[in-house]
Amino acid sequence: MSHEDILAGLAAIVNEVAGIPAETVQMEKSFVDDLDVDSLSMVEVVMACEDKFGVTIPDTEVKNLNTVADAVNYIAAHK
């Protein structure tokens, strides 16, 4: 699965969880500062990513996922 595919899947999840338009979910965006994804929504995003991409993202890693690119790269590396 390419980075582009992961980004598209992640954008759909962020849209479904937080109502943020999928096209605004871009690699350089910060979940908290740019996309207004709060901590509860972030938990939901992580859970949905685990289901969708078949990865495990431990809580200790979630705090390092500041930008969309962080999440995409983590998923690509751990699939």
* Footprint of other proteins (CB under 8 A): 15-19, 40, 43-44, 47
- Residue 76 corresponds to which tokens in the numbers above? 């690509």
Q: What's the min distance (Å) between Cβ of 38 and other proteins?
A: 10
- Residue 44 corresponds to which tokens in the numbers above? 């939901």
Nearer to other proteins, 3 or 8 (CB): 8
Nearer to other proteins, 15 or 30 (CB): 15
Q: What's the min distance (Å) between Cβ of 23 and other proteins?
A: 16
Q: Which of 63, 48, 37 is nearest to 13 (CA)?
A: 48
Q: What's the min distance (Å) between Cβ of 71 and other proteins?
A: 17
Cα 32 to Cα 2, 19, 29, distances in angstroms: 25, 14, 9
Nearer to other proteins, 2 or 63 (CB): 63
Residue 58: strand, helix, or coil: coil
